[in-house]
Each structure stands twice: as C-alpha cells, then as structure tokens.
Structure 1
Amino acid sequence: DEWGQKKGELSARMQLRETPGWKIRRNKLLAVLTQAGLKRLEEESASIPLPTLQTSISLITKKLEAVSRQAPTDTRRFQDLCLEFGQVETVVSQIQSLEYKLCCEGVDASIAWRLVSEPEVTLPGGPSAIAAQRVKLLFTQALKSLESQNDGLSPPSSVSSGEPPILREETEREFVLRLSAPRPSKVSRLCPHRLTARISKSGIQMAGLFSQDTIFF
C-alpha cells in the first residue's frame, strides 16, 4: 500500500471455503445476526398488545438461547428459527400496514391488531364511520387491482380521483344475533345464545347455539 506494507491475506488453507475454521466463523455469525433480528422484532412489536404475538416472541427467544449454546456447525435449527421469525414478522407487518391505512384521529389503534387476530370485529361508529369507510376502500382497491391484473389493464382512475368506492353486489348476507337470557326457566342464570342466518340466492341457512343453566333449572 502507500506505506509500503504488504496486503494481508488468508493462508491457502483458510481460503478453502469448506474448512472447519470457515464453517465455525460463518455459524457464529449466524447466531449474532439472529439475535440482532430478534432484538429488532421485539422493538417493532413492543407497542402491539397482542398476547399471542408476545408469546411467540418469548418462545423464539428461548429456542434461540438453546441453539446458541449448541455446536456452531448445526445450521438446521437456525433455519427452523428463521421460518418462525418470518411468521411473526408477517403478523407485525400486517398490523403496521393496517395501522397506517386505517388509524387516524378518532380511530383506536387497537382495531389494526384486532382485525388480524380476531375472527369478527365490530367497527366503532357503524358503517358510516371513518373506520368502516376506510375498510371498504381497502376492499375496493384490492378488488380493482385484481380485476386489472386479470384483464391486463391499468386500475381505474376512480380509485385515485376521490370518487366514492363501489363494491361488487353482495352474493349473500349474514345476520348474527347474540344475547344473554335465562334458560331453561325464568329463574335460571343468564346464559349466552347465538343465532346466525345466511341468505343467498340459492336459499337460506340458519344455525343456533343455545346454552342452559345446569344448576338452577
């Protein structure tokens, strides 16, 4: 170099990619990178009060502790951990995306992780509220994007021009009635009940779930 020193280089043995020393250094680096990824995942999910998400991160932490203490040449366990990392990162990304698209002034941020984790979510304010309108807009944009991909055309300009979104005509409707009432007699304790009705062009389907007091009947 400019100071007259020889350029450093590895020995001929260490330049072989399949030497034990090369493998050990590579796998030690895997442990460091995995721990850094776990730290970043914990930071990203710290503001998400989702119990299942925090449980998954705790399990990954315990597995990473065990894997880091084992032989550094065993990469299979690191590969399994990467798959679990990917699953948790997908959930976090979905929640963050929904927070960005749905949450604003007057809309609680909890609606984002509830939409990801719960089978049914009641939108505050009803169908005319801001949250419901934004959810409808997401469905509309996804539908038009899918149609444009199938037809090989660009998305319609109505999405970006501010025109009110229009969903496809519904193929069926579902009505759910949930209540608490004493059963089987008036002196029984309050028990939960659920009645579901699904109406489509082909017919009507109804299902009922009823519980009863087994002590004061």
Structure 2
Amino acid sequence: MPTSDRRGAWFTLACVLLLGLFLLRNGSAGSADSTDGPPRPAPALAARHATTAPQPPAPAPLPPSSPRRITIPSLTVDAPLTEVGLDTDGWIQAPPLTRGNLAGWYRGGVTPGERGTSVIVGHVDNTAGPAVFYGLGAVKRGSRIEIPRADGRTAVFTVYGVELFAKRDFPARRVYADGPVPELRVITCGGGYTKKTGYDGNVVTFARLTGER
C-alpha cells in the first residue's frame, strides 16, 4: 500500500477514535462571558444537510506540502496555521487558547490538497472575545477556503456543507472518513454553552478541492 494510502487509512481510524473525542471534550474552551455575549453564528438552514448533494469532479490531488495559512474570504478569516499532534494523554492538541487568530492543522493526516481528508481546527472564542472561527457557522455553500502551502501552491477548496453536531451524536466516521479525492474539514466549537459543561456541539465545514493557484 502506498505511503499516502497507509497514512489516509490510519488517519481515518485515528480521527474516529481520537479527534472527535478531543473536540467534544474540549468544547469548554470558550469565553467566560459566553452565556451573556452575542449568539455564535449557526449553520443556515439552507446549508444544512448539503453534504449529501452530488459533488463536481475534483482536480488531481496535489503532492504533500505543509499548510501555512487558512483564508476564508467570505468570513474575512486570514490566519496562520500551526501543526498539532497528540498530547501525552493521546488526545489531539488544540492551538493555544491565548492566540485567538491561530488555527491548527492535524499533522497526523494528509496535507490540504492531498488525496484524503485533511482537518483544521480552531477556537470559536476565548477570554478576550471572538476567535478565528467565530463566524464559521455562517459560511455559505459555494464559499472558498484557500490554504497557502510551503511549496508555493495555494489549495483552493469549495464549501459544500456546514453542519452543527451535538456532542452525543457526533458522526466521527462521516466527518473524518478517508476518500479518493482531496477533502477538507474545518471544525470549531458550537451550539449552546454553559460554564459547567462548555459547548454542547461542534460546527463542521465540509469542503472539496476545486483548484489551485
């Protein structure tokens, strides 16, 4: 089995067992005033369940290259990326909570643009207020997500779905499944919030590679 295929298969299993649990476990990493602040944007009704719609053919996968930034023009997101891995307890690490405009690419998976599913995570808020993916739930189907990479290429993804999943129903296999084309998941906390239990869900954006520049 080629190295990229092995990594894709391993990544699917690791995400099912670890990453989904991490995101749910760490949903409490929010602002101390979250219950009193403005509501977080939630996926629009028109965008929900769009992940079942037929998708156009994806271009040929890109070779491996570490991502450097993530931009979502429709949300005015332009943030550096750091690599995240597993901590000593076997959980996927999050970007430092104190750096609100920093997102994390899980280095145990494929790089954005490679065949398979790459994952980028970030906080919705912190004690200072809204963080990098505060508006993620408002992204529209057809929006672009661009990932500048170390090789000078920018992988361009098109959003085809955004959904809010409750902790108790988080569909890890569906979200992180390995596949034959380059896919991207951008994930943050979402749903209701209490100081005792944190956020009760996750906002997940589904996107597919549609070009490069």
Using the size of structure 2 for normalisation, the TM-score is 0.18
The answer to which structure has the higher helix fraction is 1
The answer to which structure has the higher strand fraction is 2
Which structure has more relative contact order (CA 8 Å, sep 6+)? It is 2
